[in-house]
Structure 1
């Protein structure tokens, strides 16, 4: 049975090659084979199918009606075989070249010290260009191999792989809260100093869940900082309340320089996705990076982030 399947595939390849080259001699040269071998395989194929596929003359070659239909299906079948072989070879290949990644500052803070550092230390033949932006552009047009985004995805033509859930929350320093009091509801934020990290042209507002309903609170931030790490440092210095990923706030939480506020009203974390153009996931430099991302979310800090339901995501839009 295996021999018959292999022989049938060789017949199919020979037939497609002859049609594409518009002749047996040209096909033999393209395949570095013998004309007689190709002729025999096409003849065997016609005998097995019981219909003529080609009309041969001394000067020309044309497809029969059945041959034209068979060629269309055979071409697609061979293309699928080549794609399958390419996928297997890609899985064995060493990552190399330049990996262009785009993500938000929040997610970059989550993975920079772990995933990016590990990836670069393991694969010396590849380098990363990391674009940190809140804007979701066109991956193909902008030349990105991969995006790591949190929240809903809009473009159905892209390929996405769910990585996990990112947790975060709202934080302030004990010194600030002793001076200004602790907010008891989202509405109390209007009387507080807030520190905001802008998200492109999106309005400055924060999301909460109260009485089972999601609500957004518009802000008039006292301080606007485009760098997330600097915004968290400002909050630790007592300048106001900040929204930040748990991983960025963690060092300050451990030293009690920051504490959570409104934790019981913080919405659940958002799902994080690896997003790439069609076919991009098969490229070794991309596939290996995404596998590292998945491993990180599946263990360690990723597992802790999923469990931190009382200090949930800062990535809400």
Structure 2
């Protein structure tokens, strides 16, 4: 039993004839007759008594008519509520993002909360591999590097420069690598393989396989360990900009092997994206790249 056929049945009753219902719905009369017959067949009941001059509801048809009117009214109300929520700037907005990225976007997130006080942000900062996100309920995922799951929609928001860094104390004690291959002789701190895009170390289109001293799932913790002299790290320049200025970290290889990765806003489907998700995406895309450029430019 189709909702469209139920609506058509109500129109036939309200209009008083198949002909008038066909004109009102802009359908051939034969189509109206066939669909009402199909509806009766699906219910195994006759709904209408037809003569050449009149149309009357059967006892079953009258009960069905009143029930269908209630159902259609409920459906209409539900559609209105859903449409309002889809375009409404209120309710929950669930975002997954690494803590380092959220720190970078904190000004945008703060302003977003001020501009839309009826939206409740739910922020998840723990690293979440994309292959585990398919069945999770979320509105937006911020992640670095090419999306691993093609079923998601990925919108590029900003490009981040990655480089290689170590503390002055570490370099004074162990020396400085001259080439990427020298890194095998040094203690290194790397991201867990949960995100292969930022756990791999890139050197002019090829990757280097290392045996890190420490494997960490938080870029912020990696930065702290590097500042504490525990090894060489590969991180976004924006994350270590303050440490470079204060000489707590030193850029290695004179920046020769720096490379860029894209930060993406990832969501489930291109169809019917809620307005509040579009708003946050637009804010981040508009404001984040200039901020990244300013921070990176300040430490070149």
TM-score (norm 2): 0.69
* Cross-structure match for 1:253: 244
Deviation of the 1:186 alpha carbon: 0.4
Say whether residues 1:199 and 2:193 are aligned partners.
Answer: yes
Deviation of the 1:262 alpha carbon: 2.3
Listed as ranges, the matches of 1:258-277 within 5 Å are: 258-277=249-268
Asked if the contact 1:108/1:132 (under 8 Å) is kept, the reply is: no
Deviation of the 1:178 alpha carbon: 2.6
The aligned length equals 257
Listed as ranges, the matches of 1:205-284 within 5 Å are: 205-209=200-204, 214-279=205-270, 282-284=273-275
Given candidates 90, 104, 117, the residue that maps to 1:124 is: 117
Asked if the contact 1:106/1:244 (under 8 Å) is kept, the reply is: no
Asked if the contact 1:96/1:285 (under 8 Å) is kept, the reply is: no
123-132 vs 287-296, which deviates more? 123-132
Given candidates 172, 176, 180, the residue that maps to 1:178 is: 172
Say whether residues 1:42 and 2:22 are aligned partners.
Answer: yes
Structure 1 residue runs without a partner (length 5+): 1-15, 64-84, 312-317
Asked if the contact 2:130/2:148 (under 8 Å) is kept, the reply is: no
Identify if the C-alpha distance between structure 1 residues 86 and 216 changes in structure 2 by more than 3 Å, giving closer, same or farther.
Answer: farther
Deviation of the 1:277 alpha carbon: 1.0
* Cross-structure match for 1:3: none
Deviation of the 1:205 alpha carbon: 4.6
* Cross-structure match for 1:12: none
Identify if the C-alpha distance between structure 1 residues 105 and 55 changes in structure 2 by more than 3 Å, giving closer, same or farther.
Answer: closer
* Cross-structure match for 1:69: none
Specify the SS of the correspondent of 2:96.
Answer: strand
Say whether residues 1:96 and 2:94 are aligned partners.
Answer: no
Specify the SS of the correspondent of 1:278.
Answer: coil
Deviation of the 1:167 alpha carbon: 1.9
Runs in 1 of length 4+ with deviation above 4 angstroms? 36-41, 60-63, 85-92, 201-205, 305-308
* Cross-structure match for 2:67: none
* Cross-structure match for 2:47: none
Say whether residues 1:54 and 2:34 are aligned partners.
Answer: no
Distance (Å, rounded) in 1 between the aligned partners of 2:272 and 2:266: 9
Specify the SS of the correspondent of 1:142.
Answer: coil
Identify if the C-alpha distance between structure 1 residues 128 and 201 changes in structure 2 by more than 3 Å, giving closer, same or farther.
Answer: closer
Distance (Å, rounded) in 1 between the aligned partners of 2:18 and 2:296: 59
Asked if the contact 1:139/1:276 (under 8 Å) is kept, the reply is: no
Given candidates 21, 35, 52, the residue that maps to 2:7 is: 21
Deviation of the 1:56 alpha carbon: 4.2
235-244 vs 137-146, which deviates more? 137-146
Deviation of the 1:146 alpha carbon: 1.4
Deviation of the 1:252 alpha carbon: 0.8
1:142-176 CA-to-partner distances (Å, cap 9, x unmatched) read 11211112222243332222212122311112232
Asked if the contact 2:87/2:276 (under 8 Å) is kept, the reply is: no
